[in-house]
Copies of this chain bind each other. A is one copy, B any other.
Amino acid sequence: MPGTVVMKFGGTSVADASRLKRAAERIVAKREAGQHVVVVLSARGKETDRLIADAQEISSHPDPREMDMLLSTGERVSCALCAMAINDLGHRAISLTGSQAGIVTDTSHTKARILEVRADRIRAALDEDSIVLVAGFQGVSTAKDVTTLGRGGSDTTAVALAAAIGADECEIYTDVPGVFSADPRIVPDARKLDVVSFDEMLEMAASGAGVLQLRSVEYARNHGVRIHCRSSFDDAAGTFVVSEDEAKDKDMMENPLITAVTHSRGEARVTLIGLPDTPGVAGRVTTALADANVNIDMIIQNEPRTAGALAELSFTVPRDDVDAARVALQPIAAELGITLETDASMGKVSIVGAGMKSHPGVAAKVFSVLGAQEINIEMISTSPIRISCVVPAEKVEEAVKALHTAFDLSGADTIRPEQPFGEFAS
Chain A positions within 8 Å of B, measured between CB atoms, are 17, 20-21, 51, 54-55, 57-63, 65-67, 69-70, 72-73, 76-77, 79-81, 83-85, 87-88, 93-95, 97, 100, 121, 144, 146
Contact = CB atoms under 8 A, between A and B. Distances in A.
Contacts of A88: 58-61
Given A17-B57, A58-B17, A77 B70 contact: yes
Given A69-B95, A76-B70, A77-B70, A83 B54 contact: no
A84 B62 contact: yes
B80 A70 contact: yes
A66 B51 contact: no
Given A55-B81, A59-B87, A66-B80, 20 more contacts: A17-B57, A51-B77, A54-B77, A54-B81, A58-B81, A59-B88, A61-B88, A62-B84, A66-B84, A66-B93, A67-B84, A69-B76, A69-B80, A69-B95, A69-B97, A70-B80, A70-B81, A73-B76, A73-B77, A97-B146
Contacts of A62: 84
A20 B144 CA distance: 26
13 contacts: A20-B58, A54-B81, A58-B84, A58-B85, A59-B87, A62-B84, A65-B94, A66-B84, A66-B95, A67-B80, A69-B83, A69-B95, A72-B76
Contacts of A80: 55, 66-67, 69-70
A59 B85 contact: yes
Contacts of A100: 144
Q: Is the interface of A mostly helix, strand, loop or mixed?
A: helix
A49 to B, nearest CB: 14
Q: How many copies does the complex hold?
A: 2
A54 B60 CA distance: 30
Contacts of A85: 58-59
A54 B21 CA distance: 12
Given A77-B73, A144-B100, A66 B54 contact: no
Contacts of A146: 97
Contacts of A121: 144
A72 B58 CA distance: 21
A79 B69 contact: yes
A217 B202 CA distance: 59
Kindly name the residue among A62, A81, A93 whose own CB sees the greatest number of chain B CB atoms within 10 A: A81
A58 to B, nearest CB: 5
The 4 closest A-B pairs by CB, nearest first: A73-B73, A70-B80, A69-B80, A17-B57
A93 B55 CA distance: 15
A55 B84 contact: yes
Contacts of A57: 17
